[in-house]
Amino acid sequence: MAKEEGKQGITVKKSQDISEWYTQVIQKAEMVEYTGVSGCMIFRPRAYAIWEKLMAFFDKEIKKTGVQNTYFPLLIPENLLKREAEHVEGFAPEVAWVTQGGNTPLNERLAIRPTSETVMYEAFSKWIKSHRDLPLKINQWVNVIRWEFKHPVPFLRGREFLWQEGHTAFANKQEAEKEVLAILELYRQVFEENLAVPVIKGRKSENEKFAGADFSTSVETLTPSGKAVQAATSHHLGQRFAKSFNIAYLDEKGEKQHPYQNSWGFSTRSIGAMILYHGDDKGLVIPPKVAPLHVVIVPILFDDSKARVIKKAKDIADVLRSKDISVYVDDRDHYTAGWKFNEWELKGACIRVEIGPKDIEKKQAVAVRRDIGAKTFVPLDTLPEYLAEQLETMQKDMFTKAKNFLTENTVHVSTWTDFVKAIKEKKLIYAPWCCTAECAEKIKEKTEGAKCLTLPFELEHPVGDCVQCDKKAAAIALFAKSY
Ligand code: 87F
């Protein structure tokens, strides 16, 4: 009969120990499996399905703007990786290398791609010859490796992850800058409209920007663990890479010019932020737009009516599928209905539909939304419309709840005392800041790790002095500890 109930569920409350809760939820809900290599994990089908939904959304949007997908090699020769020295300098400790083929040492070490600027821009220098070759808009959906030394956290901080990296080149600087923000807006949509995770858009401070960029923009969020995550970044690279990789073209007048470039990316880290935001003591809660399963139908089985009830459940499922609602009829008879309820709550099916012989007599079913848990009796003839509508409402409600969490955990401070207090309380902090590297270092030291996440666009105009030192504030900055 049913498996032991105790082993099935999560044994710790999210509010008690969120990191233990997270570790249990991702394994018990079959999102990930660990491997022998620390920081490299298996994305099981339930997790990969979410990534597929995000890919489908973003891929469609970027293709509307003329971006094409490509594939560049995984291995990058050392001399190429180091061509634009400044951009790899800070990252060098995180590069993983291939040094042997079989037993033969290689003449030149090969980096396993940590990002693909170098290998792509070498090719761009062959492809961009005339102003007619611009704009060039390339993207790839690939894995990358960064040899992190901090403790890995599945999805949020790993050595291997999946991402998209977009790389574009324009004749016109304004056009390039416009794209940086257009892509940032798509990232907001990935997070807010698909994952129901609220984000804050901004521009990175000088010492937090990508070293290869003229300026970097990002979307950031604070997760319920009290740690912030950089959700995605979009950079304007100016002409720096074009100059070091000899990317040049002849303009209409026949004069040699360097294009303006951008690069932008978001990764499977997004899944981690979504899990942390929405999950509860029973397990995963997944917003319908990215959920691997919208509706699970659990037929209530008795020997004498079993066949009839399963048949009815399958008929309902067919109608739902025709309306683009993903559905699974859980007619496994070696589990009790109660066990199945727990399992689907753990795995985050959006809505559970229960139907038994008595319900069929009354021409109704029971529907239970995963995020609010309330039971509703629904007439069978309006069930498909009801479920479709509930999935939409659920998506909106989940975002509203997440946004309220973010608002409630955001503070505006102007004194150092309030800043320290807010960091202890794991808040997201807006504070006037001088934006200097020395001050960033001081803040990190004094708070054991807090940093400026971004300079939010909505609040670019500071007043008064820096929250930490006695210099004039240059911006209102967003601070928190982060992953
Ligand atoms: C690690 C090792 C070597 C980040 C690294 O943000 C190089 C790098 O260049 C590196 N870690 N970066 C910055 C990546 C910049 C940029 N690349 C394209 C993005 C978005 C996608």
Q: Which atom of ligand 1 is nearest to the CA of 164?
A: 21
Instruction: For residue 397, give the 3-state DSSP assignment.
Output: helix
Query: Can you list the positions of beta strands (E) in 9-50?
Result: 32-34, 41-43
Per-residue DSSP letters for 410-475?
EEE--SHHHHHHHHHTT-EEEEEE---HHHHHHHHHHHTS-EEEEEEGGG----SB-SSSSSBP-E
Measure 116 CA to ligand 1 centroid, in angstroms: 8
In the reported structure, the alpha carbon of residue 114 is separated from the centroid of ligand 1 by a whole-number distance in angstroms of 6
Cα–Cα dist 208/191, whole Å: 22
Ligand 1 centroid – CA 206 distance (Å): 16
Could you tell me which residue, 265 or 87, shows the higher pLDDT? 265
The mean pLDDT of 182-194, rounded to a whole number, is 98
Distance CA 41, CA 303 (A): 43
Query: Measured from the CA of 87, which atom of ligand 1 is nearest?
Result: 9
Amino acid at 456: P
The model's pLDDT over 96-111, given as tens digits with 9 standing for 90+, comes to 999 999 999 999 999 9
pLDDT of 460 > 90? The answer is: no
In percent, the amount of the chain with pLDDT more than 90 equals 95
CA distance 185 to 266: 12
Give the 3-state secondary structure percentages of the chain, helix then strand then coil, rounded to 5: 40, 30, 35
Query: Cα of 335 to ligand 1 centre, how many Å?
Result: 48
Domains and their CATH numbers in the chain: 17-278 (3.30.930.10), 295-390 (3.40.50.800), 410-480 (3.30.110.30)
When mean pLDDT is compared across 90-94, 223-227, 272-276, the lowest value belongs to 90-94
Model pLDDT, residue 2: 42
Q: Is the whole-model pTM more than 0.75?
A: yes
**What would the DSSP string read from start to end of 243-298?**
HHTT--EE-TTS-EEPPEEEEEEEETHHHHHHHHHH-BTTB----GGG-S-SEEEE
- Tell me the average pLDDT across 455-471: 87
Ligand 1 center to residue 233 CA distance, Å?
A: 10
What is the position in ligand 1's atom list of the atom closest to the CA of 263? 18
Q: What is the mean pLDDT of residues 351-379?
A: 98
Q: Does 58 score more than 50 pLDDT?
A: yes
pLDDT, tens digit, 9 for 90 and up, residues 310-352: 999 999 999 999 999 999 999 999 999 999 999 999 999 999 9
What tens digit of pLDDT does each residue of 417-426 get?
A: 999 999 999 9
Query: How much distance in Å is there from the Cα of 317 to the middle of ligand 1?
Result: 45
The predicted model gives 35-39 an average pLDDT of: 96
| Mutation probe of ligand 1 site: the residue of 115, 160, 162 with most atoms within 8 A of C-beta | 115
Q: How far is CA 148 from the centre of its chain?
A: 18
**Secondary structure class of 109 (helix, strand, coil):** strand
Average pLDDT over residues 167-188: 98
Q: What are phi and psi of 275, to 5 degrees?
A: -60, -45
Categorize the per-residue pLDDT at 126 as very low, low, confident or very high, splitting at 50, 70 and 90. Answer: very high
Give the atom of ligand 1 at the shortest distance from the alpha carbon of 165: 21
pLDDT at position 4 is 45
Q: What is the pLDDT of residue 7?
A: 60
Pocket of ligand 1 (CB under 6 A): 87-88, 91, 94-95, 114-115, 117, 146, 165, 210, 233, 263-265
pLDDT of residue 139 exceeding 60:
yes
Q: How far is the CA of 210 from the centre of ligand 1 (A)?
A: 7
Average pLDDT, the chain: 96
Does 5 have pLDDT greater than 80?
A: no
For a pocket test of ligand 1, which of 70, 75, 91 has the largest count of ligand atoms closer than 8 A to its C-beta? 91
Query: What does each C-alpha distance from 261 to 87, 172, 173, 186 come to in angstroms?
Result: 14, 10, 8, 18
Residue among 210, 261, 270 whose CB has most ligand 1 atoms within 8 A, to mutate: 210
Q: Residue 461: its pLDDT value, please?
A: 73
- Residue 88: per-residue pLDDT: 81
Looking at the predicted structure, is the pLDDT value of residue 3 above 60?
no
Instruction: Assign 1 to helix, strand or coil.
Output: coil
Distance 74 CA to ligand 1 centre (A): 14
Residue of 41 and 7 predicted with greater confidence? 41
Res 381 pLDDT > 60: yes
Instruction: Provide mean pLDDT across the span 253-269.
Output: 98
Band of pLDDT at residue 86, cut at 50, 70 and 90? confident
DSSP state of 171: S
Whose CA is closest to 224, among 268, 276, 270?
A: 276
Distance 213 CA to ligand 1 centre (A): 11
Atom of ligand 1 nearest to the CA of 167: 18
